[in-house]
């Protein structure tokens, strides 16, 4: 049974994706400038991830693991999950992603079963739940990265509502009904009232945006960009309210942040590596051309103050662990100079993802060289894995906390 092999992941061509990062990593041409938004590695049905064996055979990673799950996952992970419980991705965010939340595990089970009982096909555009799993996620910035993350603390949110004339009508709602009342009001307003409130705001900020007079730390910058990106005649996207209600977080390269079930968020711009529970459940509330279900979004949103907890880039840069309060996944990174070596002991199926440089992974008679064009590998428990860098490199390792 082969314990180490190269992997080919799945590219997702969502319309918000950039055109250069992922093609560069995979060494593929993109003459039509097609969006390469995400690169998936894992066993989720949406991740058509191919294991490349030493003898040239190509097998689906999930099928290979299911051929001998206890040996390839380890007894503990197989007993707890029955399959690789995480999904690893590279994201290139050129345009803003949707305002969204992810359900808890219990909420996902209920929602998945309810949509199944109504006979909604898994691939239906109007489906909310693609599986019965939760989707906590952690992201590490590969560049300067901007995102919306949870509701602003009360004082800051009130200051914002008072500073933006078009949002003054929300002040008494927030003072009397709190976060839940505020968000419910914004998300359930008739579209005509949304237009009446937001049109003057858009008229005021778009000229400033076009003249490059707005800073990315400003809500007006992202609201103006959203207004120009998500244009539907006679229907201003209510997701713009969330830009003013939520924290704007700027991560520097190497910094990370964790997003649990129920925390509303949206990625705005930048490159990242992201790890999450093996799920594709997303409940959307705006700033997207995909299915929006505000009632389902509100049902699962944590309407409370959020104080963003940024995981710093510092510490031991050669070997860093990014903490996350979940059992589904754990992410490590290794910043290596040419000639650096590390010895690893996989206790479960682990994924390796190279974003810079070149490294050789060896385990017994198996060798996997990661470099531009071949950036991912999987190692299974039972043998030590030796990592050796052939150039200055950045390597991510996805595993499960044990």
- 284: annotated active-site residue: yes
The average confidence (pLDDT) of the chain is 96
pLDDT-above-70 percentage for the chain: 99
Band of the pLDDT at 316, cuts 50, 70, 90? low
pLDDT at 138 over 80: yes
- Min mean pLDDT across 68-72, 105-109, 317-321, 354-358 is at 317-321
What pLDDT was estimated at residue 28? 97
Band of the pLDDT at 315, cuts 50, 70, 90? low
Mean pLDDT throughout 40-59? 95
pLDDT at 149 over 90: yes
- Min mean pLDDT across 231-240, 241-250, 294-303 is at 231-240
Band of the pLDDT at 61, cuts 50, 70, 90? very high
Band of the pLDDT at 402, cuts 50, 70, 90? confident
Catalytic residue among 284, 317, 321, 397: 284
Q: Do domains 5-106+125-146+251-284 and 320-399 have the same CATH topology?
A: yes
pLDDT at 317 over 90: no
> CB of 351 within 8 A of CB of 330?
no
What pLDDT was estimated at residue 320? 94
Q: Where are the domains of the chain?
A: 5-106+125-146+251-284, 320-399
Mean pLDDT throughout 226-250? 95
What pLDDT was estimated at residue 289? 84
pTM of the model: 0.95
Q: How far apart are CA 114 and CA 109, in angstroms?
A: 9
Band of the pLDDT at 3, cuts 50, 70, 90? very high
Given CATH 3.60.40.10, say whether it is the number of domain 5-106+125-146+251-284.
no
Mean pLDDT throughout 279-290? 92
- Min mean pLDDT across 47-61, 105-119, 303-317 is at 303-317
Q: Provide CB contacts within 8 A for 168, sequence distance 6+.
A: 161, 162
pLDDT at 368 over 90: yes
Domain 320-399 homologous superfamily, CATH? Jelly Rolls (2.60.120.10)
């Amino acid at each position: 049974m082969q314990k180490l092999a190269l992997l080919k992941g799945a590219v997702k061509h969502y319309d918000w994706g950039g055109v250069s990062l992922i093609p560069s990593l995979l060494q593929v041409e993109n003459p039509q400038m097609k969006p390469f938004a995400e690169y998936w590695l894992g066993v989720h049905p949406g991740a058509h991830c191919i294991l490349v064996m030493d003898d040239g055979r190509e097998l689906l990673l999930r099928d290979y693991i299911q051929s001998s799950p206890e040996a390839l996952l380890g007894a503990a992970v197989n007993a707890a999950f029955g399959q690789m419980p995480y999904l690893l991705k590279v994201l290139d965010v050129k345009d803003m992603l949707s305002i969204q939340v992810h359900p808890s595990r219990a909420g996902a089970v209920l929602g998945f079963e309810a949509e199944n009982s109504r006979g909604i096909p898994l691939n239906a555009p109007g489906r909310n739940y693609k599986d019965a799993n939760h989707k906590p996620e952690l992201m590490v910035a590969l560049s300067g990265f901007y995102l919306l993350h949870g509701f602003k603390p009360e004082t800051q949110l009130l200051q914002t509502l008072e500073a933006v004339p078009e949002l003054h009508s929300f002040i008494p709602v927030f003072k009397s009904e709190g976060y839940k009342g505020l968000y419910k009001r914004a998300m359930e307003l008739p579209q005509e009232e949304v237009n009446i409130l937001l049109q003057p705001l858009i008229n005021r900020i778009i000229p400033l945006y076009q003249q490059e007079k707005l800073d990315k730390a400003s809500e007006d910058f992202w609201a103006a960009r959203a207004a120009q990106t998500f244009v539907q005649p006679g229907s201003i996207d209510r997701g713009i309210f969330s830009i003013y209600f939520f924290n704007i977080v700027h991560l520097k390269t190497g910094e990370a942040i964790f997003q649990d079930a129920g925390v509303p968020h949206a990625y705005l711009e930048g490159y990242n590596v992201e790890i999450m529970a093996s799920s594709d459940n997303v409940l959307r509330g705006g700033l997207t051309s995909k299915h929006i279900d505000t009632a389902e979004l509100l049902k699962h949103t944590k309407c409370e103050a959020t104080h963003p907890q940024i995981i710093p880039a510092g510490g031991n840069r050669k070997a860093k662990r990014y903490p996350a309060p979940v059992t589904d996944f754990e992410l490590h990174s290794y910043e290596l100079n040419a000639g650096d070596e590390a010895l690893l002991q996989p206790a479960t199926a682990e994924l390796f993802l190279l974003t810079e440089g070149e490294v050789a992974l060896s385990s017994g008679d198996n060798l996997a060289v990661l470099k531009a064009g071949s950036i991912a590998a999987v190692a299974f428990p039972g043998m030590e894995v030796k990592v050796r860098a052939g150039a200055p490199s950045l390597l991510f390792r996805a595993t499960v906390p044990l």
